[in-house]
Amino acid sequence: MTLSLKLIGYPIEHSMSPWIHNEFLKRSNLEGSYELFEINPDENFENNIEKLKSTSLTGFNVTVPYKQRIMNFLDKVDDTANLMGAVNTVSIKDGEWVGYNTDGQGYLRSLYAAYPFLKGVTDKRVLILGAGGAARGIFHALVQKGYNNIKIANRTLSHAEFIVGTNKDAIVISLEEAINELNQFDLIIQTSAVGMNEPRSIIALDNINEETVVSDIVYQPLETHFLQLAKQRTPYIHYGHTMLLYQAQAAFEIWTGTHVNVSDMDMQIEQILK
């Protein structure tokens, strides 16, 4: 059987996903293709989805700005994606469209691949910076894993409060409070767009511990200003492009049932993104 996979979103012409999934197809000896299906926000979204419905597809990824909107066109949404309020992977079986979200899982898989000593240790004190869609996915993935000591710091407190909801194991703080408490965290995760294509950091990182693990999910540039600041204090740096790779690994598993070994692929992605 030939697999037909796609990515919908806008703009996506520079996306790494076709390269990643075509590499997965090769590595797993599966026949198929992964192609871009760009939908300009000026176009009619529904008509484009109808077009997709009329083709023979195995599944597709969904990226910005359609991760919420696609949910109206699905037959089923799995629990994790429902919790996250967003879908990044759709699988099609017997004509039924089922939505998943592999972003949070991708984050955790990439974190554990970089620092295996974190696996299974859920009593870490975690700080999430930012409260957009990415923060929401990561927060719920952490909660599902059993992390129960999480703070979310954001410029707009109500956005962070929305993510935390009724969860008793998480606390919302301001960015100023986060700056003052930085030495009290074992894992700091930068999820805001600050630093994307700009040499800027959401906060200064003057007082983090030398054993703190610091993630930035931004990967353009590969090493953000935030990670450069972190690197002056700790050797435990976790790069955003690895999350991209592992959320793709999880999506490919949903479509094909095949687990692809990706441990050497982050270096190739680094070369491409450089």
How far is the CA of 48 from the CAs of 89, 115, 147, in angstroms? 17, 41, 40
Nearer to ligand ATR among residue 52 and residue 71 (C-beta) = 71
- b/e 103-116 (16+ beta carbons within 10 angstroms → b): bbbbbbbbbebbee
Query: CB of 247: closest distance to ligand ATR in angstroms?
Result: 13
The pair of structure tokens assigned to 215 is 């993630």
| Residues tagged active-site | 67
> Is residue 172 helix, strand or coil?
strand
Write a three-state SS string for 54-77.
CCCCCEEEECCCCCCHHHHHCCEE
Do 139 and 163 form a contact (C-beta atoms < 8 A)?
yes
Give the binding site for ligand ATR (CB under 6 A): 130-135, 154-156, 159, 191-194, 202
Task: Tell whether omega for the bond before 199 is within 30 degrees of 0, i.e. cis.
Answer: no
- Binding site: residue ranges? 15-17, 63, 79, 88, 103, 130-134, 217, 219, 240, 247
Residues at the annotated binding site for shikimate? Answer: 15-17, 63, 88, 103, 219, 247
Cα distances (Å, whole numbers) of residue 68 to 12, 139, 199, 227, 256: 17, 17, 30, 30, 24
